[in-house]
């Protein structure tokens, strides 16, 4: 009996001990450990996702510019890429420049100037670059770096509604208005002779000359051409595309890190939908 009792007590004690051990460890038993481990992994994954998102929102710490200021030239008479809304410069290029600078952690200063001065100002070190619906050309590549292209453009021909010009073939011997230093200006000179081309500092001035009868047509990029034609009932676009071109950001040849940073920012901001949304805001898909 004694023994039996002792055995019973011992068994009871062992059971109690087993229960205590089970309570102490059982709560964190193998079954429960698995989800906890999973949670940690999920948290780690969630943190990674957060980090990715905050990187694309807040961007990288750019270090290509000592003063932290990205100085870009433009010619704000080129709607919808750059133009004035009251005293504010707005447009596709202005928004893209701001988005890139934001992403890289730079302040951006956009300087409005004649289009034909932008590349010279980059070469002389006054500007870090230019964003101006600028077409990549072999000639320009000798003076500046170009970012990857963020848009395409077409050279268009604007005539008055009563014009006898119906196609490019009718331009021979006609007076062609252009914007000085642009690709449209260069192509017109090459194809129709310098004597037949009158270049103006601003595209808008060439259009005024067309309306006044001082030139017979204007060759200019399609996006501003569209804006000019929409703004005046007397104008029309010829249904013919003169050339197709890639727009890119011109950057100083002295700073390859800046080129890398801008290309990286362009890629991220294209992939996350920022740049497509900017273009859609100014040129809604029809």
CB of 146 closer than 8 Å to CB of 108: no
Q: According to CB under 6 A, which residues from 13 to 52 bind ligand GLN?
A: none
- From the CB of 106, what's the least distance to ligand GLN, in Å? 23
Among 103, 106, 115, 150, binds ligand GLN (CB under 6 A): 115
Q: Is 148 exposed, middle or buried (0-12, 13-18, 19+ CB in 10 A)?
A: middle
Q: Count interface residues toward ligand GLN (CB under 6 A).
A: 12
CB of 101 to ligand GLN, least distance (A): 20
Query: What Cα–Cα distance (Å) separates residue 104 from each residue in 72, 110, 156, 272?
Result: 15, 16, 35, 15
Q: Which of 111, 105, 101, 116 is nearest to 72 (CA)?
A: 111
Among 179, 227, 252, 274, binds ligand GLN (CB under 6 A): 179
* Under rule CB under 6 A, residue 228 binds ligand GLN: no
The piece of 12-20, 175-183, 208-216, 233-241 that touches ligand GLN (CB under 6 A) is 175-183
Among 78, 103, 146, 150, binds ligand GLN (CB under 6 A): 78
Q: Judged by CB under 6 A, does residue 182 bind ligand GLN? A: yes
Is 80 near ligand GLN (CB under 6 A)? no
Residue 251 lies near ligand GLN (rule: CB under 6 A): no
Calpha distance 71→55 (Å, rounded): 23
CA angle 61, 62, 67 (to 5 degrees): 115
Q: Is 65 helix (H, G, I), strand (E, B) or coil?
A: coil
Pairing of strands 83-85, 88-90: antiparallel
Strand, coil or helix: 60:
coil
Instruction: Judge contact between 181 and 116, C-beta under 8 A.
Output: yes
Q: Pick the closer one to ligand GLN by CB: 64 or 250.
A: 250
Q: Does the protein bind ligand GLN through residue 156 (CB under 6 A)?
A: no
Site for ligand GLN in 116-155 (CB under 6 A): 132-135, 153
Q: Which residues in this chain contact ligand GLN in the complex, by CB under 6 A?
A: 75, 78, 115, 132-135, 153, 179, 182-183, 221
């Amino acid at each position: 009996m004694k023994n039996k009792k002792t055995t019973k007590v011992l068994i009871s004690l062992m059971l109690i001990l087993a229960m205590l051990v089970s309570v102490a460890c059982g709560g964190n038993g193998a079954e429960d450990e698995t989800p906890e481990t999973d949670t940690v992994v999920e948290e780690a994954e969630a943190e990674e996702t957060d980090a990715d998102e905050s990187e694309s929102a807040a961007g990288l710490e750019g270090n290509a510019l000592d003063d932290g200021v990205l100085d870009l030239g433009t010619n704000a008479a080129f709607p919808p890429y750059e133009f004035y809304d009251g005293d504010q410069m707005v447009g596709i290029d202005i928004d893209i420049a701001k988005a890139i600078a934001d992403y890289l952690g730079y302040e951006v200063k956009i300087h409005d100037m004649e289009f034909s001065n932008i590349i010279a100002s980059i070469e002389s070190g006054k500007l870090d670059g230019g964003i101006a619906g600028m077409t990549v050309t072999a000639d320009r590549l000798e003076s500046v770096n170009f970012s990857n292209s963020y848009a395409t453009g077409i050279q268009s021909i604007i005539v008055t509604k009563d014009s006898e010009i119906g196609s490019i073939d009718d331009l021979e011997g006609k007076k062609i208005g252009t914007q000085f230093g642009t690709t449209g200006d260069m192509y017109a000179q090459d194809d129709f002779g310098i004597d037949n081309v009158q270049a103006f500092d601003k595209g808008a001035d060439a259009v005024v000359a067309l309306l006044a009868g001082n030139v017979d047509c204007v060759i200019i990029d399609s996006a501003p051409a569209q804006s000019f034609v929409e703004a005046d009932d007397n104008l029309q676009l010829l249904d013919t595309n003169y050339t197709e071109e890639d727009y890119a950001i011109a950057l100083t040849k002295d700073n390859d890190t800046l080129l890398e940073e801008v290309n990286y920012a362009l890629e991220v901001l294209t992939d996350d939908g920022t740049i497509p949304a900017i273009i859609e805001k100014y040129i809604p898909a029809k």
